[in-house]
Amino acid sequence: MTRNKKRKTAVRAAQLATGHRYIRAARELATAPAQADQAFLLKELLAECATMPPADVDWGDLEGYGPAVFESVLLRTAVPYGTVLELAGALAREGTGAQLRLESLDPLESATITAGERRFQLILSQELVYELCRQLHCPHQPVNRTIIRCSEHLADCDEKELAAMAGEWGFALHEELGRDAPHRLGGSPEADLLLKAAVAQGAFELVSTSLLQACFEDPELIDEIFWDEEEALDMRHALERERIRLQRIARDEAQRARKKAGSCLVCGTQLVGAGLHIPPQYCSRDCVPPPASAPAFSEEPPF
């Protein structure tokens, strides 16, 4: 669909929602991004979905295959009924009182909304919703439901966030694969992403310990958990193999980051390796800047 067609469709939607003349609706739509941070509730969007009649839109090449849509006043565009229901399902734990904000809009293509720290892409040409990385304006999906950032923005998490995600991912693996085959618990690419992000924060020990104890078992409790000595030994061997593998990945990642940086970002000292407890771009803990106090997610500008 051409940009002009999408623009006219969006203006018609604004006309229908407000009752204004076409020219006034077009002018108001032109200034709509400044109002995009206005909050609304999920139940208000559901009320629109339940009461608004089907709308006719020009789907261009998708004519005859486009989904049934209604003109949403809240989102200022045509929205598939099924997309709203998918969003409600994704926000089931938050409930219908979840507060939503429009982050960006491409009429008849997609809309990005935020719900607290969570971000969703609503596909407006299909009945689909994708959860996005929690980094504002990032177009990518998270690694998975447990690791809530994309691979590019994992390193932006602090050590506590990384440790929490590592523990949840390890527990998910443990639940899926069980204790009967501990050799299958190691080697996941998701664990590699988490540990590489941990290296960037100088948090290898904290994150790897969280992952290993959730994925395998706390080494101090293995003998209490397993009555069979062979099963306990298998678990210990699997845990140690994964620990060694993660250490190797972490050392390689730290070496790569040091080589890229060349010298300490603060004092200019040549980087020779200060251990995995220090971010590899710095020569010592003294040069590591304190963490910035980031504003709350909802306080970020919408565009």
Q: Which residues contact 213 (CB under 8 A, 6 or more apart)?
A: 167, 170
Task: Band the pLDDT of 1: cuts 50, 70, 90.
Answer: very low
**115, 298 in Cβ contact below 8 A?**
no
Average pLDDT over residues 279-291: 85
**Of the ranges 5-9, 131-135, 159-163, which one carries the lowest mean pLDDT score?**
5-9
Average pLDDT rounded to a whole number, residues 13-33: 56
Q: How far apart are CA 121 and CA 142, in angstroms?
A: 12
Specify whether the CB–CB gap between 47 and 41 falls below 8 A.
no
Between 3 and 233, where is the model more confident?
Answer: 233
Q: What is the pLDDT of residue 110?
A: 92
| Strand 110-115 versus strand 69-72 pairing type | unpaired
Residue with tokens 């678990």: 235
Distance CA 96, CA 295 (A): 26
| The pLDDT of residue 268 | 85
**φ, ψ at 192 (rounded to 5°):** -60, -45
% of the chain with per-residue pLDDT over 90: 49
Q: How confident is the model at residue 291 (pLDDT cuts 50, 70, 90)?
A: confident
| pLDDT mean across residues, the chain | 83
- Please give the full DSSP string across 113-152, using - where no structure is assigned: EEETTEEEEEETTTTEEEEE-SSTT--SPPSSSSS-S-TT
30: tokens are 């032109």
> pLDDT by residue (tens digit) across 103-149?
999 988 899 999 999 999 999 988 999 999 999 899 999 999 899 99
Alpha carbons 170 and 263: distance in angstroms, whole number = 35
Q: What is the pLDDT of residue 9?
A: 62
219 by Cβ neighbours in 10 Å (0-12 / 13-18 / 19+) ranks as middle
Residue 14 above 90 pLDDT?
Answer: no
Report the predicted TM-score, pTM, of the whole model to 2 decimal places.
0.73
pLDDT digits (tens, 9 = 90+) for 41-100: 999 999 999 999 998 887 776 666 778 999 999 998 999 999 999 999 999 999 999 999
pLDDT above 50: residue 300: no
Rounded CA-CA distance 256/67 in Å is 48
Q: What does the DSSP assignment read for the chain?
A: --HHHHHHHHHHHHHHHH---HHHHHHHHHTGGGGTT-EEEHHHHHHHHHHSPPB----GGGTTTSPPEEEETTTTEEEEHHHHHHHHHHTTTT-TT-EEEEEEEETTTEEEEEETTEEEEEETTTTEEEEE-SSTT--SPPSSSSS-S-TTTGGGS-HHHHHHHHHHHHHHHHHHH-SS-GGGSS--HHHHHHHHHHHHHT-HHHHHHHHHHHHS--TTTHHHH-SSHHHHHHHHHHHHHHHHHHHHHHHHHHHHHHHHH-B-TTT-PBP----TTS-TTSSSGGGSPPPP-PPPGGGS---
pLDDT over threshold 80, residue 102 = yes
**CA distance linking residue 101 with residue 122, whole number of Å:** 13
Per-domain boundaries in the chain: 3-132, 154-262
Q: Which residues pair with 112 in a beta bridge?
A: 104, 121
